[in-house]
Homo-oligomer: A and B are copies of this chain.
């Protein structure tokens, strides 16, 4: 019924995998090997014109963009809700999602790193500095917000899982993968550590995907 075009290490696909699991929705994984460039094939571009993952097929239609997909799933299957019911709470959770999904991740995804190395001729150190810079820019604000809004350092907002948790864990995974020091973010680290014990998050983790490659 659900068919997810995914890649084990794509943090956008990781967000949607978590949401599908939280909603207890079974889905078929279709791996699109980003590092091998499969997202630029004519066939994949016919599915998703941006040539990005994820894309979710459901009921004969294709949905794209991780947060649009998460919003769709949340309306289709209301329990558990992935956004607070009150207007301000919802806007705060959405803002945290966008700070991660608009202001950190798109700056650090594969196509951008390839452009930095290729067109701009940057070496590995410069690319790593770039990567860490945007994570720190975003995490500083998120640490402030999580300090204000997390009830007990278990979830980003309040004391229940939201879409912001679906976005945080993949971004922390990326930070670790690129050796970005996270000492300055005790609240985010506590939340991430707790979330990664939850079954929906465990099942969505990159290393537990059928297309996982070597670390």
| A residues apposed to B, CB below 8 Å | 49-52, 61, 63-69, 71-72, 75-76, 87-88, 90-92, 94-95, 97-99, 101-103, 105-107, 111-112, 115-116, 119-120, 122, 126, 129-130, 133, 137-138, 140-141, 144-145
Name the contact of A50 in the complex, choosing from B71, B87, B103 (C-beta under 8 A): B103
Closest chain B residue to A88 by CB distance? B61
Name the contact of A68 in the complex, choosing from B50, B75, B94 (C-beta under 8 A): B94
Give the residues in chain B near A61, CB-CB below 8 Å.
Answer: 88
Q: How far is the CB of A141 from chain B (nearest CB, A)?
A: 4
Name the contact of A141 in the complex, choosing from B49, B94, B97, B98 (C-beta under 8 A): B49
CB of B87 within 8 A of CB of A76, answer yes
Please list the 3 inter-chain residue pairs (A to B) with the smallest Cβ-Cβ separation, ordered nearest first: A68-B94, A49-B141, A65-B95
CB of B87 within 8 A of CB of A72, answer yes
Q: How far is the CB of A78 from chain B (nearest CB, A)?
A: 12
Q: How far is the CB of A68 from chain B (nearest CB, A)?
A: 4
Q: How far is the CB of A210 from chain B (nearest CB, A)?
A: 26
A102 to B50, CA, bound (A): 12
CB of A71 within 8 A of CB of B90, answer yes
Name the contact of A145 in the complex, choosing from B49, B101, B105, B122 (C-beta under 8 A): B49
